[in-house]
């Protein structure tokens, strides 16, 4: 497995998880429709990167 590529995936996964955490906190504070959409986007990003990392493990 290419360690540099793996590192980049982990970095992006961490970033997506942080965005998810921020979106959840914002949603809890205001519970507006806009923040609810942000939460869904962040969840999708996190799921996409988790799938990508899983694929790397399978190919590795």
Residues 6+ apart with CB under 8 A from 47: none
What CATH number has the domain spanning 3-59?
A: 1.20.58
- Domain regions of the chain by residue span: 3-59
What pLDDT score was predicted for residue 3? 85
- The string of pLDDT tens digits covering residues 1-58 is 578 888 888 888 888 888 888 887 776 776 666 656 766 777 777 888 888 878 877 7
Q: To the nearest 10°, report the CA torsion of 22, 8, 47, 26.
A: 10
């Amino acid at each position: 497995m290419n360690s540099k590529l793996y590192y980049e995936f982990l970095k992006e996964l961490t970033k997506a998880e942080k965005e998810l955490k921020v979106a959840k906190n914002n949603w809890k504070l205001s519970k507006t429709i806009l923040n609810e959409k942000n939460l869904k986007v962040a969840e999708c990003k996190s799921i996409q990167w988790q799938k990508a990392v899983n694929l790397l493990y399978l190919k590795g």
